[in-house]
Structure 1
Amino acid sequence: MDILIVGAGDVGSNLARDLADTHEITVIDRNPDLVDTLTAQLDITGITADGRSLVTLKEAGLENADIVIASTDNDATNVMVCTTANRIGSIRTIARVKDAGLFQVWQSSDGGFGVDAMLCVDLLAAQDLVQTLTVPGARSTGVLADGMAEVAEFHIGEDTPITDRTVADGDTYPSLTFAAIIRDERILPAEKESVIRAEDSLVVIGSPTAVSRLANDIAAQPVPQSDDTVIVAGGGTIGYQIARLFEQRGLDTRLVEHDPERISWLEDRLKNTSVIEADVTDVEAFGRKQLPNTDLLVGATDDDTNYLLAQLAQELGTARTAAIVDDSQVLDIFEEGGIEVAVHPENIVTEEILQSVYHQRTESVSILNHGAAEVLDIVVDEQSILAGDSPNDIAQHLPESFTIGAIIRGETLRTPRAGTIIETGDRVIAFVATNRMDEVTEKI
Structure 2
Amino acid sequence: MRVVVVGAGEVGRTISATLEDSHDVVVVDRDSQSIDEITYAYDVLAIQGDGTEISTLRKAGIEQADLVVACTDTDESNIVICTAAKSRSNAFTIARVRRRSLLETWEGANDSFGIDFMICSDHLTAQTVFRISGFPAAQNVDSFVGGRIRMAVFEIEPDSPIAHQTITEADRYDSLTFIAVFCEDRIELATGDTVLEPSDRVVVVGRPEPVRKFANQVATHVNDAADEVVIAGASEIGIQTAKAFEEHGYHPRLLERNTARARYASEQLPGTTVLEHDATDREFLSREHIGEADILISAFETDERNLLMSLLGRHIGVDKTVAIVESFQYSELFETVGVDITVNPREETAEEIVKFTRENHTEKIVTLEHDRAEVFEIKVTDDSIFTNREIEAAMSELPDGVIIGAISRSGEFVTPRGSTVIEPTDHLVMFVDSSVLDTVVPVI
TM-score, normalized by length of structure 1? 0.67
User: Which residue type is aligned with residue 122 of structure 1?
Assistant: D
Relative to structure 1, the CA distance from residue 50 to residue 264 in structure 2 (aligned partners, 3 Å threshold; closer, same or farther) is same
For 2:109 and 2:364, how far apart are their aligned partners in 1?
Answer: 16
Is 1:141 matched with 2:142? yes
For 2:267 and 2:95, how far apart are their aligned partners in 1?
Answer: 29
Q: 1:284 aligns with which of 273, 282, 303?
A: 282
Shift of 1:80: 1.0
1:401 aligns to what? Answer: 409
Are the counterparts in 1 of residues 38 and 46 from structure 2 also a CA contact under 8 Å?
A: yes
For 1:221 and 1:3, how far apart are their aligned partners in 2?
Answer: 46
User: Which residue type is aligned with residue 274 of structure 1?
Assistant: T
1:87 aligns to what? Answer: 87
User: Which residue type is aligned with residue 277 of structure 1?
Assistant: E
Q: Deviations over 1:340-382 (max 9, x none)?
A: 01122112212222123225579x567899445469xxxxxxx
Is 1:433 matched with 2:433? no
Shift of 1:137: 5.2
- In the TM superposition, what are the counterparts of 1:35-434 in structure 2 within 5 Å? 35-135=35-135, 141-142=142-143, 152-153=150-151, 158=168, 163=173, 203-204=206-207, 216-217=215-216, 220=219, 224-225=223-224, 228-280=227-279, 282-290=280-288, 291-301=290-300, 302-358=302-358, 360=360, 364=363, 370-373=375-378, 401-403=409-411, 433=427
For 1:404 and 1:109, how far apart are their aligned partners in 2?
Answer: 34
Q: Deviations over 1:373-395 (max 9, x none)?
A: 469xxxxxxxxxxxxxxxxxxxx
Are the counterparts in 2 of residues 232 and 254 from structure 1 also a CA contact under 8 Å?
A: yes
Shift of 1:332: 3.2
Shift of 1:74: 0.9
Shift of 1:304: 2.3
Relative to structure 1, the CA distance from residue 254 to residue 211 in structure 2 (aligned partners, 3 Å threshold; closer, same or farther) is farther
Relative to structure 1, the CA distance from residue 55 to residue 404 in structure 2 (aligned partners, 3 Å threshold; closer, same or farther) is farther
Shift of 1:94: 1.5
Q: Deviations over 1:157-178 (max 9, x none)?
A: 6567972x5x8xxxxxxxxxxx
Shift of 1:49: 0.9
Most deviating of 59-68 and 127-136: 127-136
For 1:245 and 1:15, how far apart are their aligned partners in 2?
Answer: 27
Are the counterparts in 2 of residues 125 and 344 from structure 1 also a CA contact under 8 Å?
A: yes
Query: 3-state DSSP class of the match of 1:323?
Result: strand
Query: 3-state DSSP class of the match of 1:292?
Result: helix
Are the counterparts in 1 of residues 82 and 95 from structure 2 also a CA contact under 8 Å?
A: yes
For 2:365 and 2:112, how far apart are their aligned partners in 1?
Answer: 20
Gaps of 5+ in 2: 154-166, 180-191, 195-202, 368-373, 381-406, 414-424, 430-444
Shift of 1:31: 1.0
1:175 aligns to what? Answer: none
Are the counterparts in 1 of residues 145 and 427 from structure 2 also a CA contact under 8 Å?
A: no
Are the counterparts in 1 of residues 3 and 65 from structure 2 also a CA contact under 8 Å?
A: yes
For 2:343 and 2:90, how far apart are their aligned partners in 1?
Answer: 35
Shift of 1:270: 2.9
For 2:428 and 2:168, how far apart are their aligned partners in 1?
Answer: 28
Are the counterparts in 2 of residues 103 and 120 from structure 1 also a CA contact under 8 Å?
A: yes
For 2:170 and 2:178, how far apart are their aligned partners in 1?
Answer: 16
Are the counterparts in 2 of residues 138 and 215 from structure 1 also a CA contact under 8 Å?
A: no
For 1:215 and 1:266, how far apart are their aligned partners in 2?
Answer: 36
Shift of 1:111: 4.8
1:383 aligns to what? Answer: none
For 1:143 and 1:238, how far apart are their aligned partners in 2?
Answer: 24
Relative to structure 1, the CA distance from residue 298 to residue 67 in structure 2 (aligned partners, 3 Å threshold; closer, same or farther) is same
For 1:307 and 1:10, how far apart are their aligned partners in 2?
Answer: 19
Query: 3-state DSSP class of the match of 2:311?
Result: helix
Are the counterparts in 2 of residues 106 and 112 from structure 1 also a CA contact under 8 Å?
A: yes
Q: Deviations over 1:225-244 (max 9, x none)?
A: 56842210111210112122
Query: 3-state DSSP class of the match of 2:51?
Result: coil
Are the counterparts in 2 of residues 230 and 295 from structure 1 also a CA contact under 8 Å?
A: yes
Task: Give the RMSD, CA atoms, in angstroms.
Answer: 3.9
Identity of aligned residues (%): 28
Are the counterparts in 2 of residues 8 and 28 from structure 1 also a CA contact under 8 Å?
A: yes
Shift of 1:15: 1.5
2:19 aligns to what? Answer: 19
Are the counterparts in 2 of residues 117 and 356 from structure 1 also a CA contact under 8 Å?
A: no
Query: 3-state DSSP class of the match of 1:47?
Result: strand
For 2:305 and 2:178, how far apart are their aligned partners in 1?
Answer: 45
